[in-house]
A and B are shown apart, each in its own frame.
Chain A
């Protein structure tokens, strides 16, 4: 699957459509299937914390790129719903900057960051309300590919590929307008989840440091649109924060950071949504 996303001969938009085409028939009994496309999402990564080398404290990279989300909600009973959602950005190399004592005492480079976020939950209405309480599980997988590093004006040899993974639980709420009618075909929905990661891991672990376990997240989504029979066309906003704490701090031979312990990733942007409702 990773090879499919890394195929440079196909645009990210086409890949998203192909992925949806492959996945939708397999879950055709779903209550709702939505495909979200973000033409220009923002990723803001900030890594901080302990390092083996006695300089540097943080790294930042803020690429803008397309992204996609896939959501499947299936009614398990009159009151229980099961929902799965997956989000991923289009990855490419963007400039990464470290903090600096001066222009010559800093780390710069090119970093390709891929964020994969999967949330699987169950939801049930509150008594006398259309708002639903949500409880579920979350899994995150982030890839960092760092290259062309310049550290204190000296080029570092080689590149670095770090994989971060985290798993935890989410709690939250979700709501939606009543089903559309012939008179009112507009709909809106929202979702707010807070999560905690109980398991975190990095491929670039080292000894030392202090804060290197657990993590947390939030995921917000607002959506509105127009429904025609079984199809919805909508637009919305998504914002997700992922904080993963690991025993990072590994350095390149010359001292540049190859991983950091406290990794915060913000992902947000406006999306277009196409949904099929059962």
Chain B
């Protein structure tokens, strides 16, 4: 699906849900050309410890629905997505060969994620800043295709694979909005993860750290438009060293024990209030 089509599907659905409850606020953030950098390390001996990923460019979407901000706290939920479904691209992943030199494996990889955050917002006393507590379920998705393993070219088979890691976590953050019709908005959040449903991996499952800042303008009484930048760091554990059978080889590496994913880019955000602003 093209990014624009995905965006319009979301936009078309918004009034249906939100207009039924005149006390909500939604915002949609789109990073049309986010940069995703991924690194993996793991027990895939004797061939390698690490991978090399060229890095991809993919759109990132974030849709957030909250109650209207209240001084005694309010709730919100946000949904993040990037990946092939949202128009993401593939880039080359290489696995160096420690035993013979050169490349053990070359394939195309898209790194995506689908993350859900439930957030409690509460203002800090006498400051235009709010503190945030998050509960989240996150899922990182790795789509691989066009394998060449130990010089066996397997691309002609259209063989592909999807590997996923999920984790559950808690997070703390701060966010501020300064100004009136024209304003500066920022937020920073640190989430710590465990893996409730993966008994074979360490219970400590990593971290997501997010920070963003934007300049915005209230173009209509209930609608604001922002332009800003976002940076997200994600480190997560998994069992790793899963391989796919490819005849005549030791198998295609499709998972690692440790993974680090950085996503960053410029974004455009629409922020709509269904009730009057504070």
Encode contact with A along B75-110: 1 for CB under 8 Å, 0 otherwise: 000000000000000000000001100000000000
Q: Is B245 an interface residue (CB 8 A)?
A: no
* Residues on B with beta carbons closer than 8 Å to the beta carbon of A70: none
Encode contact with B along A32-52: 1 for CB under 8 Å, 0 otherwise: 000000000000000011110
Chain B: CB-nearest residue to A170: B190
* Interface class of chain A by DSSP: strand
Chain B: CB-nearest residue to A133: B131
Q: Is B46 an interface residue (CB 8 A)?
A: yes
Chain B stretch 205-263: residues in CB contact (< 8 A) with chain A = 206-207, 209, 233, 235, 257-260
Cβ of A50 and Cβ of B50 under 8 Å apart? yes
Chain A stretch 177-217: residues in CB contact (< 8 A) with chain B = 192-196, 208-211, 214, 216
Count, A-B residue pairs, CB within 8 A: 110
Cβ of B172 and Cβ of A210 under 8 Å apart? no
A55 to B99, CA, bound (A): 12
Q: Is B199 an interface residue (CB 8 A)?
A: no
Which one of B39, B51, B131, B235 lies within 8 Å of A216 (CB-CB)? B235
Q: Is A103 an interface residue (CB 8 A)?
A: no
Interface size, chain A (Cβ < 8 Å): 39
Q: Is A261 an interface residue (CB 8 A)?
A: yes
Cβ of A262 and Cβ of B258 under 8 Å apart? yes
Cβ of B172 and Cβ of A50 under 8 Å apart? no
Q: Is B177 an interface residue (CB 8 A)?
A: no
Chain A stretch 117-151: residues in CB contact (< 8 A) with chain B = 124-129, 133, 135
Encode contact with A along B122-147: 1 for CB under 8 Å, 0 otherwise: 11111101010100000000000000
A48 to B241, CA, bound (A): 14
Q: Is B173 an interface residue (CB 8 A)?
A: yes
Cβ of A241 and Cβ of B204 under 8 Å apart? yes
Cβ of B192 and Cβ of A194 under 8 Å apart? yes
A218 to B259, CA, bound (A): 19
Q: Is A8 an interface residue (CB 8 A)?
A: no
Q: Is B185 an interface residue (CB 8 A)?
A: no
Q: Is B188 an interface residue (CB 8 A)?
A: yes
Q: Is A172 an interface residue (CB 8 A)?
A: yes
* Residues on A with beta carbons closer than 8 Å to the beta carbon of B172: 171-173, 192-194
Q: Is A230 an interface residue (CB 8 A)?
A: no
* Residues on B with beta carbons closer than 8 Å to the beta carbon of A129: 122
